[in-house]
Amino acid sequence: MSGFGSKKSNVLFRLIAVLPLFIFLFSLLVGPYPVPLKEIPKAFVSLINPSSAAGESAVYRDILFKIRFPRLLLALAVGAALSVSGASLQALFKNPLVNEYILGISSGAAFGAALSLIFLGRRFPPQVMAFVFALAAILIVLLIARNTDSRGISLLLSGVIVSAFFSALLALVQFFASPYALQALVFWLMGSLSGAVWKDLLISLPVMAAGVAVLILLRWRMNVLSLSDEEARSLGVDVRREKLLVITAAALATAAATAVAGIIGWFGLIIPHLVRMTVGADNRRVIPLSAALGAALLLLADDITRSIAGFEIPIGIFTSIIGIPLFVYLLKKSKAVWL
Q: What is the pLDDT of residues 34-70, one digit of tens each?
A: 788 887 877 777 777 766 655 667 778 888 888 899 9
Name the pTM for this structure: 0.87
DSSP classification of residue 213: H
Q: What is the pLDDT of residues 304-331, one digit of tens each?
A: 998 887 778 889 888 888 888 887 777 7
What's the mean pLDDT when you consider all of the chain? Answer: 83
Q: What is the pLDDT of residues 200-251, one digit of tens each?
A: 788 889 999 999 999 999 998 888 887 777 887 887 788 888 888 998 898 8
pLDDT at 266: 82
CATH superfamily of 7-32+70-337: ABC transporter involved in vitamin B12 uptake, BtuC (1.10.3470.10)
Q: What is the pLDDT of residues 137-184, one digit of tens each?
A: 988 988 887 766 555 677 788 888 999 999 999 999 888 888 877 887
Task: State yes or no: pLDDT of 3 exceeds 60.
Answer: no
Long-range CB pairs of 212-217 (<8 Å, 24+ gap) are 212/80, 212/81, 212/84, 212/249, 212/253, 212/291, 214/245, 214/249, 215/84, 215/85, 215/88, 215/246, 215/249, 215/250, 215/253, 215/287, 216/84, 216/287, 216/288, 216/291
**Measured between alpha carbons, how far is 277 from 44 in angstroms, rounded to an integer?**
40
Helices 239-261 and 69-93 pack at an angle, to 10 degrees, of 150
pLDDT at 301: 93
Which of 53, 61, 74, 52 lies closest to 33 in space, CA to CA?
Answer: 61
Burial status of residue 234 (CB atoms within 10 A of its CB: 0-12, 13-18, 19 or more): exposed
